[in-house]
Chain A
């Protein structure tokens, strides 16, 4: 499987990578903001199995990034899981309306992140 991680914190990306590696995923591409995420998506022809995405980032927020991805046909089906410290219900709703497949709130236990990824992929089949 190939995964795109988008978060402006290198530490958070490392933590997410560990979870993915435990899941046996080794092809991991990283982006530090929304703009870079879109570049990586284009570079890889949107050929990812899923994407984790922060919301509060410089350059382009996660919600805006999400909208951009969903606005192109190649990005319509990509499972996108928001992973953010923002826990407001309005924000969750906004993310869903913008096309998020799921939502993980920081702080999270690594096994819960893994579980959310697994169930999101299961539902997506």
Chain B
């Protein structure tokens, strides 16, 4: 995956959270390349990408952080058991992906609908020839999260 893809996703993430949630997250450490089986946080949102590319974008964080984020997004407290938690997280991912797609407009990226799952000890798998690029990020007070991208031009 090209390194030029990383920054648009980071910018999209920062702008989305800044505009709709009122916080500015930052990058938090080096990028990593993950293939094989690797751990994710308990809350995982996945959104497939097509168009001139093939791949997906993931946003993943702890349930605690997710609750704080979605509560702020919604303007009301969200419990771990609330369907709003998964829905809100998915909608934020949808907006981040849309914004990144706009920045990468030469790639004609089409977005699928997001899927969000929650559970302990999540595992993701990446293929050796199309690994996940993991971008560690963090909110100023709420905790860490990752944006993970696997995307190849067709």
Contacts and interface: CB of A to CB of B under 8 A. Distances in A.
A87 B102 contact: yes
A120 interface: no
B87 A10 contact: yes
A97 interface: no
Interface stretch (A12-20, A23-31, A45-53, A65-73): A12-20
B15 interface: yes
Contacts of B102: 86-88
B84 interface: yes
Contact of B91 (A11, A18, A86): A11
B73 interface: yes
Interface string B93-130: 01101110110010000010100000000000000000
B111 A18 contact: no
Interface residues of A, number: 20
B70 interface: yes
Contact of B75 (A18, A56, A85): A18
Contact of B98 (A8, A11, A84): A84
Contacts of A11: 70, 73-74, 84, 87-88, 91
B16 interface: yes
B140 interface: no
Given A15-B75, A85-B99, A88-B105, A9 B111 contact: no
29 contacts: A9-B88, A10-B83, A10-B84, A10-B87, A11-B70, A11-B73, A11-B74, A14-B75, A14-B84, A15-B73, A18-B75, A56-B94, A58-B113, A84-B98, A85-B94, A85-B98, A85-B99, A86-B101, A86-B102, A87-B98, A87-B102, A88-B101, A88-B102, A106-B16, A106-B20, A107-B15, A107-B20, A108-B19, A109-B20
Interface of A: 8-12, 14-15, 18, 56-58, 84-88, 106-109
